[in-house]
Amino acid sequence: MNLNYWLEKIESFHPNEIELGLDRVSLLAKHLDLLTPTAKIITVGGTNGKGSCVATLESCALQSNLKVGCYTSPHLLRFNERIRLNGREVDDNLIVGAFENIEKARTELRVLQDSNLTITFFEYTTLAALIIFKKVHLDLIVLEVGLGGRLDAVNIIEPDVAIITTIARDHESWLGSDLKQIAFEKSGIFRARITNYVGDNKSLDLILNARPKFLSHLEVSCESIVSKLSPLISDILINPRQLLKQNVALALSAFKRLFASEFQNLNLVNMIKNIELKGRLQVVCNKPLIILDVAHNEQAAHNLALQLNSKPCSGKRFAICGMMADKSIAEYLFALDDAIDEWMFVNLPIARAASANELVRIGQGASLKGDVQMHESVLSACRAVEPEIGNDDQLVILGSFITVAEGLLVIKSL
């Protein structure tokens, strides 16, 4: 039974893609003896910037010759991207073995409890990552929150440091649109006995409003680290992905808290240069410039617009855009519109996606300045733009992980 078989199997076990709550996954984790890892744990949550923060922590560890495991979601092309050991995706056999262990535990618990213990796809993958990390000696484990925080599967593990990057609206069908409630859910990964980092003062205020008793347990990333980073982050040769200073500073602050001596010897230039991060201002071609970015909410769109406008374009900038229907699409498009000359809206091969027709309708309602086209798929949009685009033009593929994954596959085939 190969990995694809198992992925299809575990997708069929639970009727819902997501079910918030920790009781079921905690029970299995306890049965599998996963709740007390020996490595240091950093949990990373928030609305935007989680991937950058995790990748920076991984780079810090690798540059310091520490053994590190990272668990992230979602993936772009291969499920294995979600679980990394020392910077490398784990192989299929390790994941299949972990899934088999989980199924054995489910069977044992069904017999003990005389009930069917169902868990979601994300809960399965979280347990699988923890099983794999337990098999090897690690100094650091970095766990990225999938959606919320308080009731997210990774929150079964007690962290040594917790990070919230930003608080903004996203996944509103699950978390709601009230920022205080979103802050309450996301900051559920914080603990009173540890250091908890927050990315900016706006998010800090939201969390303190939601959890006023946490005042003495929250810190914004270290000012001395921020000042050291400024010249490095602004250097395009050191930071070609234009990672935000805020996210790198958060990771460095957390790393310093747990590994002070390694931090003192850390070469920041090499650390930043060696950060690996797919789908974030990822350049896949230089002439013409083709960029892929998974930004999929309004806050991320504002950040991406700033990054795009820092890249001079003497021709036209095209955008191939596909999005999920549950996003704040009009606000997203409006945030990016000044950076885009021509929008190419596409259908995506997933039921949750907005149709290209719907994206065009919303874009027209938002009075986009850029020209608007509609295409059947990312592939058809790429074929349409190929004869139009010259070396002075730019192409951005954006809007969701699915859009970027489709874009990567198409570009590889052209």
pLDDT at 17: 61
pLDDT at 171: 65
What is the token pair recorded at 161?
């440091």
Give pLDDT tens digits for 47-65. Answer: 999 999 999 999 999 999 9
Cβ–Cβ < 8 Å for 378, 407:
yes
What CATH number matches the domain at 282-413, 3.90.190.20, 3.40.50.1860, 2.70.98.20, 3.40.50.620?
3.90.190.20
CA distance 317 to 309: 10
- Listed by start position, the domains of the chain span 3-273, 282-413
DSSP 242-253: ---HHHHHHHHH
- CATH number assigned to the domain covering 3-273: 3.40.1190.10
Instruction: Starting at the earlier edge strand, list the strands of the sheet with 394-398.
Output: 282-286, 289-293, 394-398, 317-321, 342-346, 371-375
In Å, how far are 5, 49, 82 from 282, measured between CA atoms?
A: 31, 15, 18
CA distance 344 to 354: 14
Cβ–Cβ < 8 Å for 180, 209:
yes
Give pLDDT tens digits for 150-164. Answer: 999 999 999 999 999
Q: Does the bond joining 231 to the residue before it have cis omega, within 30 degrees of 0?
A: no
pLDDT at 123: 93
pLDDT at 355: 97
Taking the CA atoms of 90, 93, 97 and 100 in sequence, report the sign of the dihedral they define.
positive
Segments of the chain scoring below 50 in pLDDT: none
Cβ–Cβ < 8 Å for 94, 163:
no
Q: What letter would DSSP give residue 324? A: B
